[in-house]
A = this chain, B = another copy of it.
Amino acid sequence: MDMDQHRYLITGAAGFVAPHFLRLLQTQEPGAQVLGVDLNPPTWTGAGVETQTLNLLDRPSVEATLQAFHPTRVLHLASVSSVAVSWKAPVESFQNNTNIFLHLLEGLRKLEIPARVLSVGSSEEYGRVDEAHLPLTENHPLNPGSPYGVARVAQEQLSQVFAEGYGQDIVMTRSFNHLGPGQKAQFVVSSFAKQMAEAKKAGLKQFTLTAGNTKVVRDFLDVRDVVHAYHLLFQGGTSGQVYNVCSGVGRSLDEVLTLLARICGLELTVDVDPALVRPNELMTIVGSAQKIHQAVGWVPELQFEQSLRDLVEYWQ
């Protein structure tokens, strides 16, 4: 077997990120075999590409899938990745982050499948940080502020311990805010883009948008840059190491709104609804992308405005 002919298992195949990773693979590794799994998997077409229904909480099924497919690389995207959902259903959130991941790792270990695993984590692991410490480097202490954040920290620490204790090949990320075509409207920027795309389509020139605190600054990355980073980490990341996947640039929601209004040709009024302002929300979160840059040479390639244009187009 050509060493480059990898067998990719992708969990969370029905999510936002997976199809972008698949598209990248089809360009860069046309010979790769891909199995996408999810509770309700999408239909993927193309040579060497298949999908399968799989509940990662069902350990025997996880092992059967691993045994049958024998991946060389595992991209673990499956996650109940909403902070809000984790406050409403903390047990389910925890299980569908930490426990599902542990089932995967333990299945690979028991079956002695030496796959490289990419454990996708979140900037939510940092939690409450002092703005004096921005941009956040990977050495910054983890102080998660939600059940979701705790679940992601546990996932990362389990990765660390499995890599060191059992010698498994596991690379970890802390991925910051994503945006891009295909993103659901439950995420703030996608929601803004959807509303303005619809206003534009309706021929409006003026639009009033209701929002929470638009002064908050976040580190946004186009999903196509994200999957490029993941692909490079599969190739050149170091097992047992964690990498921020972020732009290194902070942008306020005000800035995002101004750009979206310009793209849609709208005169925008923002109506701040105090009910949408989250208590104790961190004003600014920005990561440092130095480590991943030095390790695998990754830099974000898409211009932020282009990402917003593509997101607006997606909603149109």
A147 with B154: CB separation less than 8 A: no
Q: Which residue of B lies closest to A144 (CB)?
A: B157
Question: Does residue A95 face the partner (Cβ distance < 8 Å to B)?
Answer: yes
Question: Does residue A106 face the partner (Cβ distance < 8 Å to B)?
Answer: yes
- The interface residues of chain B lying within 8 Å CB-to-CB of A90 are 102, 105-106, 158, 162
B147 with A161: CB separation less than 8 A: yes
Report how far A144 CA is from B155 CA in the complex, Å. Answer: 12
Tally of contact residues, A, Cβ under 8 A: 28
- The interface residues of chain B lying within 8 Å CB-to-CB of A102 are 90-91, 94
Q: Is the interface of A mostly helix, strand, loop or mixed?
A: helix
B154 with A150: CB separation less than 8 A: yes
Report how far A99 CA is from B106 CA in the complex, Å. Answer: 17
Report how far A151 CA is from B161 CA in the complex, Å. Answer: 11
- The interface residues of chain B lying within 8 Å CB-to-CB of A60 are none
Shortest Cβ distance from residue A86 to the other chain B in the assembled complex, whole angstroms = 9
Question: Does residue A146 face the partner (Cβ distance < 8 Å to B)?
Answer: yes
A103 and B87 contact, Cβ closer than 8 Å, known pairs A150-B154, A161-B149: no
Report how far A146 CA is from B162 CA in the complex, Å. Answer: 8
Report how far A159 CA is from B195 CA in the complex, Å. Answer: 39
Chain A positions 49-78 with a Cβ under 8 Å from a chain B Cβ: 59
Question: Does residue A221 face the partner (Cβ distance < 8 Å to B)?
Answer: no
Report how far A90 CA is from B108 CA in the complex, Å. Answer: 13
Q: Which residue of B lies closest to A141 (CB)?
A: B141
Report how far A281 CA is from B313 CA in the complex, Å. Answer: 57
- The interface residues of chain B lying within 8 Å CB-to-CB of A288 are none
Question: Does residue A153 face the partner (Cβ distance < 8 Å to B)?
Answer: yes
What are 15 A-B pairs with beta-carbon distances under 8 A? A59-B91, A87-B165, A90-B162, A91-B103, A91-B106, A94-B98, A95-B99, A98-B154, A145-B165, A147-B158, A149-B161, A150-B157, A150-B161, A153-B153, A154-B154
